Chains A and B, each alone.
Chain A
């Protein structure tokens, strides 16, 4: 399994290197040479102040979403699960748009990420308290769908009452998802939450493998289901909330990344976690590179590209899976 991880890590590094060289005027390996030789002082600024934070943001968001998707799919034993189904993404988006709507985000730069993490944290706490009391995933998913709809409705309300077209476009743009103009400070604020969430998910690796045989059989073999459920839900809440805080709503990575790597790890749900994170990171770096390379008048949003590329991949996997399963 380490071989798969090494391969994906190499792929991730390659994607990051390509992305560092990619700019508005196409690929420029010369920029790297300029920086190395110290000939052009602007090279360092472009590489480290503009491109690197953006690449790191795309990578950490992709990794968090891939990992959360893999964890939730394993926990629910449902290949369609993704961070969105528990309502965490929607709540984080709502929290962030609230700070935009009330002008807090403009007044204080940390208001938006904190709003997103706060929204995600609230829903996560609700879900975790439900998880303590219920056995089985169905109730939890239904609660998530309910919370998701509620957050969606509140979002619609905010858009409805947007004071002027400018703030409306601000709100909409933010919900499309992007890692443009993110600073290392933005990253520094959200990164600890992602790491904490990822760590919680990773402690459940073995439990998630065992859960493949169903809740009752897994519990009979020694799984503490409730603990696993809470760890995965809280871990997902933290990591997803932080990634929404950093980049807005970016869909499909959470579903697609686990599916892409699953055949390479023998479909073991626990062993899918790390490769899914690496694949998710590489996917978002490449998607963001595409965003920067494509010459468009208005800025193309990462969330849009991720969905446009992710949805067909997802369909392809679903169709292939269908034929494999029934022969």
Chain B
């Protein structure tokens, strides 16, 4: 059973004493104001860079000691910024997600790419050059690449930020389905609405600290949002403990 456990993660001025757990089968959403340390947390969780203090353990092993290949087979990470240096085809870009499984897999992956592109609703883009994609399309192609890695754990830094409302809901629905199928997913989101409707668990960050962890309970969300974002919000209660929607009051 793969699980990701971070203890006492500290990185100068950016992150302080963060405790975090990601288990298979759950969808955890991390929210917090700009500069609150969400991306730093994600990067350290993904084994990109070393913390000043604390540790990240993936399936019981210190993540900084795992080989990059070994790590990539258990944990896929989507950085916040998508970059593609050359105008390669979308299908080829998605196939790069198979890297950890060997060269043959990358070559085969170009043929299989349609499957993962389909999942993010971008199947028609397979033969297009990545240089001609819009920002949102590129973000979806990058998400398909991370799906292609077929790792048990996913860390996604703002997978929905560049997307239109329809696509945001589609992507979140896919993430829920994947977590129900057994993947452990942690995603940074800026949209409290999506967090309230789809998360199993919400991690609240402020000033480089994890200030709270909560269930997506409407009343809890309202009080936490007031605390962390300093805005007043109204939450519509929905079914199954989730909110059905929320709006921010001026």
Contact = CB atoms under 8 A, between A and B. Distances in A.
B99 A221 contact: yes
Contacts of B92: 266, 268
A276 to B, nearest CB: 13
Contacts of B88: 212, 266-268
Interface string B32-70: 000000000001001010000000000000000001110
A222 interface: yes
B83 interface: yes
A219 B96 CA distance: 12
Contact of A222 (B73, B83, B85, B87): B73
Nearest to A217: B79
Contacts of A206: 99, 103, 106
Contacts of B48: 216, 219-220
Interface residues of B, number: 35
Contacts of B96: 209-210, 212-213, 218, 221
A299 interface: no
Interface in B62-106: 67-69, 71-73, 76-79, 81-89, 92-93, 96-97, 99-100, 103, 106
Q: Which of A211, A217, A220, A324 has the most CB of B within 10 A?
A: A220
A209 B67 contact: no
Contact of B79 (A214, A224, A324): A214
A214 B71 CA distance: 18
B76 A221 contact: yes
A3 interface: no
Contact of A223 (B78, B97, B99): B99
Given A266-B92, A268-B86, A268-B88, A222 B79 contact: no
Contacts of B69: 222, 224
Given A210-B99, A269-B86, A325-B131, A220 B46 contact: yes
B100 A222 contact: yes
Contact of A220 (B72, B86, B106): B72
Contact of A267 (B67, B87, B106, B142): B87
A268 B103 CA distance: 14
Contact of B72 (A77, A211, A216, A221): A221
A221 B149 contact: yes
B87 to A, nearest CB: 5
A269 B97 CA distance: 16
Contacts of A220: 46, 48, 72, 76-79
A209 B87 CA distance: 12
Interface in A192-240: 206, 209-214, 216-224
A267 B128 CA distance: 12
B72 A222 contact: yes
Contacts of B97: 221
Interface residues of A, number: 24
A143 to B, nearest CB: 21
B206 interface: no
B99 A212 contact: no
Given A212-B93, A217-B142, A268-B92, A222 B68 contact: yes
B145 interface: yes
A272 to B, nearest CB: 9
A214 B83 contact: yes
A222 B148 CA distance: 13
Contact of A212 (B67, B86, B100): B86
Given A212-B93, A212-B96, A268-B92, A222 B106 contact: no
A266 B92 CA distance: 9
A213 B106 contact: no
B16 to A, nearest CB: 23
Interface string A240-271: 00000000000000000000001000111100
A269 B85 CA distance: 9
Contacts of B82: 213, 217
A224 B72 contact: no
26 contacts: A210-B99, A213-B145, A214-B84, A216-B79, A217-B79, A217-B82, A218-B99, A219-B48, A219-B68, A220-B72, A220-B77, A220-B78, A221-B72, A221-B76, A221-B145, A222-B68, A223-B68, A224-B68, A224-B69, A262-B86, A266-B89, A267-B86, A267-B87, A268-B92, A269-B85, A325-B87
Given A214-B83, A217-B142, A224-B69, 16 more contacts: A77-B86, A206-B99, A209-B106, A210-B99, A213-B83, A213-B96, A216-B48, A217-B79, A220-B48, A220-B79, A221-B72, A222-B73, A266-B92, A267-B86, A267-B87, A269-B86
3 nearest CB pairs, A to B: A222-B72, A77-B85, A222-B100
